[in-house]
Amino acid sequence: MKRIIGPANDPESAATTSEQDQQQLVVSESAEDSAVEETVSPVTNAASVLKAIKLDYNFTALEVENVEDEPYDAKDPTISATMSEIVSVLREITTMNPMFREQIHHFASAQVSKAVFENPAKLADFAAALSGGSSEELQDILSDLNVATRLEKALVVLKKELMNAQLQNKISKDVEAKISKRQRDFYLMEQLKGIKRELGLESDGKDKLIEQFKVKAESLLMPAEVKKVFDEEVGKLAHLEPAASEFNVTRNYLDWLTQIPWGKHSVEDYDLKRAKVVLDEDHYGLEDVKQRILEFIAVGKLRGAVQGKILCFVGPPGVGKTSIGKSIARSLRREFYRFSVGGLTDVAEIKGHRRTYVGAMPGKVVQALKRVQTENPLLLIDEIDKLGRGHQGDPASALLELLDPEQNNAFLDHYMDVPVDLSRVLFVCTANVTDTIPGPLLDRMEVIRLSGYLADEKRAIAQKYLAPQAKETAGLEGAAVMLQDDAVDALVRNYCRESGVRNLKKHIEKIFRKAALKIVETGVAVEAPPQPTDAAACQGDGAAAPAPAPAPAPVAESAAGKGQAAVCAKPPSKMVIPDSYSLDITAGMLKDYVGPPIFESDRLYENTPAGVVMGLAWTSLGGSALYVESVVEATRASKDSDNDSHGGRLHTTGQLGDVMKESATLAYTYVRSLLNRDYPDNRFFHNNIIHLHVPEGATPKDGPSAGVTMTTALLSLALNRPVRNDVAMTGELTLTGRVLKIGGLKEKTIAARRAGVKRILFPKANLADWEELPSNVKEGIEGHPIEWYNQIPALVGLAPTS
Ligand SMILES: Nc1ncnc2c1ncn2[C@@H]1O[C@H](COP(=O)(O)OP(=O)(O)OP(=O)(O)O)[C@@H](O)[C@H]1O
């Protein structure tokens, strides 16, 4: 008997030792021990262990007897089928598990493989040995002497091994996929790009972009100079990496360069008849303004162009300056673009930023050209009188370059850096006053004044323009909801007294909105019957479909479920007001619609007391009638005043500016001298301290034109005689009593009319202005030109009594 040494339960050894004729390991511990040669099964195959032999060596030796398999039929179909299954499973595992492959490789020699793969018992042991079965399972297989069942058991553990390998494989693949998906994608994309580039199909979108720019440029008539810059920039773009920041800068620039409408212009229309119709359609009155515009168009017709002139509409807010600009564009069939320069302090807003800045953009003018897509639009520059003055250059100078016909055929925007021809653009500016428009700018403009509306004009504008517009905006078009004449009259008289009509427009809009609310709230309006096109337009809306309502379409349903708006071309259902319904809004109802009246009476004083006179002022908001009030503040003791020939004092309030304060002092001095001359006994100013006030106290006022009014107020106080209460006056006074020219006579006259004045005193130097006033403005008013103050007392009821 030979001795085999090995650890008990070693399945690997077991696979090689469980049969009698198996290869035996011959161990020779040392040269001296070689004499003892015994064979021991390394596996605890209980049946095979007979006894342990105690030797003088340092290990345990066992005496074993090899066990034998039960006899079997090698041709048994179950056995051969199980064997083939084991072999096929082994093959499968080999493909998945590289370690497995190595082990099999070990037995790959023809001799071994024949011994193993053709012997069912050995195959079972081999398969079990390769599998990762538990020691119990393996021991069970090893102990089984029935070859058929042993094969079966081996197949089971092998199958488990297969499943294990499959699972392992899947997990490993999943993890790998997760980790490398992005990297993989990246590499694949790069490869794809490379392939496309090689094939000349596409190059990362850049070629396409360049192509687009070129196509766009070809459709434009770029001047040679611009085309050269374009070609240079396109060449630059072609050599830039899309990831580079410079790429985006160049792309944006090219984008702007190809957005300017080089050589594109709208066909102009100088048809005077049509222009008149358009102007009348959009605006009531403003005859003189319309006349000027028609003259302007007529010149355009003769010259073939209207450029070279800059119109500037000057007037109080809400008189239609902006909207008349729009009408001019419509009558000339030009595109319209408006931008406001009010408060603008940065030159870059007009001339653009240099391209070196991050987020640089062209200025407003280039933006306008991009928007309108024609080279000859009408550009309306609003609020030019409120142009700021910043530390970042002077916007007025930039505007000068823009507006000057001599320079603007090659306007250089900082961003574009190529000359842009603006000579075909028609510039129209608006301003409230001309005083604050920089001189050189004003010099280039043709000023057209809009001086505010009379009450009659406001009424007509309200009825013909504002009310129909407001009615339509409120959704009451076609309904019998009418704003009665007395209501419009009350609105003009008691709510909206300013020069323009913007406030009136707001009030009328409010009235129609309230009427709409009333109609809907009281249930007068009924839902419109469904239109046949409605159901087709919005399938998902059951309400729109004719009854019975079909099931909502899945698209609409899912969109609604996700909180998104369903795609639907149909507007929300409309309400209609029955023809039988009518609503007349009268003056008496205004309180409910727009609140209590703001102005209860036409004027502050129905009968002006002594010391109070109505003056006329002109501000950026238009003309206004204001009172100058004077009272005796305190009377001095006659003893003191006798000793002090300069006694008395004047005290002024009402937020008066320096010039107006000087006017008050001058008026005071002048009246004192007048009294000295004409009423030598009158010691009024010697004895009294006078307080002169100009309401409203919160409104700052300045200017010299209240000189004659202040003088008259002080004279009336000194004589203790009130002036006529239908008189108003304006004029600057000199110390010697000369009356000097003032501005805004038209606005002042309109304001005087609003205040119910019947007699106006104005400087003789303004006589030409007076004569130019439209007859409807002067109607019912006596105008008295004044050269010297001496003329005034007789006209206001302060003539010396004989
Ligand atoms: N004569 C008019 N006929 C019809 N509507 C007018 C007339 N005048 C002004 N409006 C209307 O009044 C409104 C205000 O006019 P717009 O905005 O043009 O005033 P504006 O003079 O430009 O004021 P701002 O100086 O405040 O800019 C517009 O809706 C305009 O249509």
Could you tell me if 613 and 796 are in contact, meaning their C-beta atoms sit under 8 angstroms apart?
yes
Model pLDDT for residues 432-446, shown as the tens digit of each residue: 888 888 888 888 888
321 lines ligand 1 (CB under 6 A): yes
213 lines ligand 1 (CB under 6 A): no
452 lines ligand 1 (CB under 6 A): no
pLDDT value of residue 556: 38
Q: Flag whether pLDDT at 698 surpasses 80.
A: no
What value of ipTM does the predicted structure carry? 0.96
Q: Flag whether pLDDT at 286 surpasses 90.
A: no
Specify burial of residue 346 (Cβ count, 10 A radius: 0-12, 13-18, 19+): middle
Please name which of 262, 266, 263 lies closest in space to residue 416, comparing C-alpha atoms.
Answer: 262
Longest alpha-carbon distance in the chain: 174
Q: Flag whether pLDDT at 15 surpasses 50.
A: no
Please name which of 792, 801, 729, 716 lies closest in space to residue 762, comparing C-alpha atoms.
Answer: 729
Q: If you measure from the C-alpha of residue 388 to the centroid of ligand 1, how many angstroms do you get, rounded to a whole number?
A: 24
Of 421, 449, 477, which residue sits at a domain end?
Answer: 449
Give every CB contact of residue 89 below 8 A, 6+ residues apart in sequence.
127, 155, 158, 159, 161, 162
> Same structural domain for residues 290 and 424?
yes
Which structure tokens are listed for 181? 């998906």
What mean pLDDT do residues 229-240 have?
A: 87
Which residue puts its alpha carbon closest to atom 25 of ligand 1?
Answer: 317
Q: Is the dihedral of CA 339, 345, 349, 351 positive or negative?
A: positive
> Same structural domain for residues 312 and 427?
yes
Question: 38 falls in which pLDDT band (50, 70, 90)?
Answer: very low
Q: If you measure from the C-alpha of residue 382 to the centroid of ligand 1, how many angstroms do you get, rounded to a whole number?
A: 13
Distance, in Å, from the CA atom of 140 to the CA atom of 124, rounded to the nearest integer, reads: 12
> Same structural domain for residues 15 and 122?
no
Please name which of 58, 38, 36 lies closest in space to residue 50, comparing C-alpha atoms.
Answer: 38
Q: If you measure from the C-alpha of residue 492 to the centroid of ligand 1, how many angstroms do you get, rounded to a whole number?
A: 16
Q: Is residue 72 part of a domain?
A: no
Q: What's 357's domain CATH number?
A: 3.40.50.300
Question: 544 falls in which pLDDT band (50, 70, 90)?
Answer: very low
Which residue puts its alpha carbon closest to atom 15 of ligand 1?
Answer: 320
Q: Between 116 and 376, where is the model more confident?
A: 376
Q: Is residue 180 part of a domain?
A: no
pLDDT value of residue 603: 64
Distance of CA 578 to the CA centre of its chain: 40
Q: Is residue 699 part of a domain?
A: yes
Q: Flag whether pLDDT at 729 surpasses 90.
A: yes
323 lines ligand 1 (CB under 6 A): yes
pLDDT value of residue 711: 93
Q: If you measure from the C-alpha of residue 485 to the centroid of ligand 1, how many angstroms do you get, rounded to a whole number?
A: 21
Question: 29 falls in which pLDDT band (50, 70, 90)?
Answer: very low
473 lines ligand 1 (CB under 6 A): no
Question: 764 falls in which pLDDT band (50, 70, 90)?
Answer: very high
Which residue puts its alpha carbon closest to atom 2 of ligand 1?
Answer: 283
pLDDT value of residue 134: 86
> Same structural domain for residues 25 and 96?
no
318 lines ligand 1 (CB under 6 A): yes
320 lines ligand 1 (CB under 6 A): yes
> Same structural domain for residues 213 and 347?
no
Task: State how beta strands 782-786 and 759-763 pair.
Answer: parallel
Mutate-to-test residue for ligand 1 from 323, 432, 451, highest number of ligand atoms within 8 A of CB: 323
Alpha helices (H) along 720-781:
745-754, 767-772, 775-778
Which residue puts its alpha carbon closest to atom 3 of ligand 1?
Answer: 283
> Same structural domain for residues 702 and 792?
yes
Question: 549 falls in which pLDDT band (50, 70, 90)?
Answer: very low
Q: Decide if 748 is catalytic.
A: yes
Distance, in Å, from the CA atom of 608 to the CA atom of 605, rounded to the nearest integer, reads: 5
Q: Which of 104-113, 250-259, 478-487 has the lowest mean pLDDT?
A: 104-113
Distance, in Å, from the CA atom of 283 to the CA atom of 317, rounded to the nearest integer, reads: 15
Q: Which atom of ligand 1 is nearest to the CA of 285?
A: 1
pLDDT value of residue 712: 93
Distance of CA 20 to the CA centre of its chain: 94
286 lines ligand 1 (CB under 6 A): yes
Kindly report the backbone phi and psi dihedral angles of residue 457, in degrees, each rounded to the nearest multiple of 5, phi listed first: -65, -40
505 lines ligand 1 (CB under 6 A): yes
pLDDT value of residue 516: 87
Q: Is residue 421 part of a domain?
A: yes
Question: 16 falls in which pLDDT band (50, 70, 90)?
Answer: very low
pLDDT value of residue 572: 61
322 lines ligand 1 (CB under 6 A): yes
Which structure tokens are listed for 741? 């020219």
Q: Is residue 619 part of a domain?
A: yes
Q: If you measure from the C-alpha of residue 320 to the centroid of ligand 1, how many angstroms do you get, rounded to a whole number?
A: 3
> Same structural domain for residues 350 and 444?
yes
Q: Which of 82-86, 532-536, 668-672 has the lowest mean pLDDT?
A: 532-536
Model pLDDT for residues 178-205, shown as the tens digit of each residue: 777 778 788 888 888 778 777 766 556 7
Q: Flag whether pLDDT at 321 surpasses 50.
A: yes
Question: 356 falls in which pLDDT band (50, 70, 90)?
Answer: confident
> Same structural domain for residues 519 and 370?
no
Query: HEC string of 396-423?
Result: HHHHHHHHCCCCHHHEECCCCCCEECCC
Upper half-sphere CA count for residue 50 (Cβ side, 13 Å): 10
pLDDT value of residue 630: 92
Q: Fill in the amino acid letter for 698.
A: A
pLDDT value of residue 532: 57
Q: If you measure from the C-alpha of residue 92 to the centroid of ligand 1, how many angstroms do you get, rounded to a whole number?
A: 89
Distance, in Å, from the CA atom of 27 to the CA atom of 8, rounded to the nearest integer, reads: 16
pLDDT value of residue 612: 92
Distance, in Å, from the CA atom of 690 to the CA atom of 316, rounded to the nearest integer, reads: 35
What mean pLDDT do residues 316-339 have?
A: 89
Of 546, 568, 594, which residue sits at a domain end?
Answer: 594
Catalytic residue among 705, 741, 764, 802: 705
Mutate-to-test residue for ligand 1 from 453, 502, 509, 620, highest number of ligand atoms within 8 A of CB: 502
Could you tell me if 319 and 500 are in contact, meaning their C-beta atoms sit under 8 angstroms apart?
yes
Q: Which of 323-332, 629-638, 700-709 has the lowest mean pLDDT?
A: 629-638
508 lines ligand 1 (CB under 6 A): no
Q: If you measure from the C-alpha of residue 160 to the centroid of ligand 1, how many angstroms do you get, rounded to a whole number?
A: 90
Which residue puts its alpha carbon closest to atom 4 of ligand 1?
Answer: 283
Tokens 């720019």, residue?
Answer: 213
Question: 567 falls in which pLDDT band (50, 70, 90)?
Answer: low
Query: HEC string of 153-207?
Result: HHHHHHHHHHHHHHHHHHHHHHHHHHHHHHHHHHHHHHHHHHHHHHHCCCCCCHH
Model pLDDT for residues 370-426, shown as the tens digit of each residue: 999 998 899 999 988 888 776 667 788 888 888 887 788 888 889 988 999 888 888
> Same structural domain for residues 526 and 553?
yes
Element at 693 (helix H, strand E): strand 688-693
What mean pLDDT do residues 224-236 have?
A: 89
> Same structural domain for residues 159 and 248?
no
Please name which of 332, 452, 440, 329 lies closest in space to residue 387, comparing C-alpha atoms.
Answer: 440
Upper half-sphere CA count for residue 256 (Cβ side, 13 Å): 25
DSSP assignments along 279-303, one per residue: HHHH-SS-HHHHHHHHHHHHHHHHH
pLDDT value of residue 129: 85
Q: If you measure from the C-alpha of residue 500 to the centroid of ligand 1, how many angstroms do you get, rounded to a whole number?
A: 7
pLDDT value of residue 695: 83
What mean pLDDT do residues 727-731 have?
A: 93
Beta carbons within 10 angstroms of residue 28's beta carbon: 11
Could you tell me if 685 and 672 are in contact, meaning their C-beta atoms sit under 8 angstroms apart?
yes
Q: Is residue 605 part of a domain?
A: no
| 3-state SS class at 395 | helix
Which residue puts its alpha carbon closest to atom 11 of ligand 1?
Answer: 320
Catalytic residue among 153, 364, 701, 748: 748
Mutate-to-test residue for ligand 1 from 501, 504, 509, 619, highest number of ligand atoms within 8 A of CB: 501
Please name which of 310, 312, 298 lies closest in space to residue 406, comparing C-alpha atoms.
Answer: 310
Q: Which of 79-93, 158-172, 442-456, 588-602 has the lowest mean pLDDT?
A: 588-602
What mean pLDDT do residues 583-589 have?
A: 82
What mean pLDDT do residues 42-65 have?
A: 61
Please name which of 494, 751, 744, 738 lies closest in space to residue 614, comparing C-alpha atoms.
Answer: 751
Question: 52 falls in which pLDDT band (50, 70, 90)?
Answer: low
pLDDT value of residue 54: 62
Please name which of 794, 652, 660, 632 lies closest in space to residue 723, comparing C-alpha atoms.
Answer: 794
Q: If you measure from the C-alpha of residue 197 to the centroid of ligand 1, how many angstroms do you get, rounded to a whole number?
A: 60
Query: Percentage of residues in the chain with pLDDT exceeding 90?
Result: 13
Which structure tokens are listed for 262? 């080089």
Q: Which atom of ligand 1 is nearest to the CA of 315?
A: 21
Mutate-to-test residue for ligand 1 from 319, 461, 499, highest number of ligand atoms within 8 A of CB: 319
722 lines ligand 1 (CB under 6 A): no
Q: What's 754's domain CATH number?
A: 3.30.230.10
Q: If you measure from the C-alpha of residue 283 to the centroid of ligand 1, how many angstroms do you get, rounded to a whole number?
A: 9
Mutate-to-test residue for ligand 1 from 311, 322, 448, 750, highest number of ligand atoms within 8 A of CB: 322
Q: Which atom of ligand 1 is nearest to the CA of 283?
A: 3
> Same structural domain for residues 769 and 620?
yes
DSSP assignments along 421-482, one per residue: --TTPEEEEEES-STTS-HHHHHTEEEEE-----HHHHHHHIIIIIHHHHHHHTT-TTSEEE
Distance of CA 56 to the CA centre of its chain: 101
Q: Is residue 607 part of a domain?
A: no
Which residue puts its alpha carbon closest to atom 16 of ligand 1?
Answer: 320
493 lines ligand 1 (CB under 6 A): no
Q: What one-character DSSP code corresponds to residue 64?
A: E
363 lines ligand 1 (CB under 6 A): no
Could you tell me if 49 and 41 are in contact, meaning their C-beta atoms sit under 8 angstroms apart?
yes
Q: If you measure from the C-alpha of residue 296 to the centroid of ligand 1, how many angstroms do you get, rounded to a whole number?
A: 21
Give every CB contact of residue 458 below 8 A, 6+ residues apart in sequence.
492, 496, 501, 504
Question: 668 falls in which pLDDT band (50, 70, 90)?
Answer: very high
Specify burial of residue 22 (Cβ count, 10 A radius: 0-12, 13-18, 19+): middle
Q: Is residue 2 part of a domain?
A: no
Q: Is 659 left (phi over 0), alpha (psi -120 to 50) or beta?
A: alpha
Of 403, 421, 449, which residue sits at a domain end?
Answer: 449
Q: Decide if 663 is catalytic.
A: no
Q: Which residue range is the domain that position 251 belongs to? A: 206-259
Could you tell me if 792 and 724 are in contact, meaning their C-beta atoms sit under 8 angstroms apart?
no
> Same structural domain for residues 310 and 427?
yes
What mean pLDDT do residues 555-584 have?
A: 58
What mean pLDDT do residues 302-325 have?
A: 83
Q: If you measure from the C-alpha of residue 425 to the centroid of ligand 1, how many angstroms do you get, rounded to a whole number?
A: 23
Please name which of 736, 769, 737 lies closest in space to residue 750, comparing C-alpha atoms.
Answer: 769
Which residue puts its alpha carbon closest to atom 14 of ligand 1?
Answer: 318
Give every CB contact of residue 224 below 8 A, 6+ residues apart in sequence.
none
Number of domains into which the chain is organized: 6
Could you tell me if 386 and 341 are in contact, meaning their C-beta atoms sit under 8 angstroms apart?
yes
Q: Flag whether pLDDT at 526 surpasses 90.
A: no
Please name which of 353, 343, 356, 340 lies closest in space to residue 390, comparing C-alpha atoms.
Answer: 343
Mean pLDDT of the chain: 79
Q: If you measure from the C-alpha of residue 384 to the centroid of ligand 1, how many angstroms do you get, rounded to a whole number?
A: 17
Question: 45 falls in which pLDDT band (50, 70, 90)?
Answer: very low
What mean pLDDT do residues 297-309 have?
A: 77
pLDDT value of residue 28: 35
CA distances from 605 to 600, 602, 783 (A): 12, 9, 22
Q: What's 501's domain CATH number?
A: 1.10.8.60
| Cross-strand pairs, 342 | 387
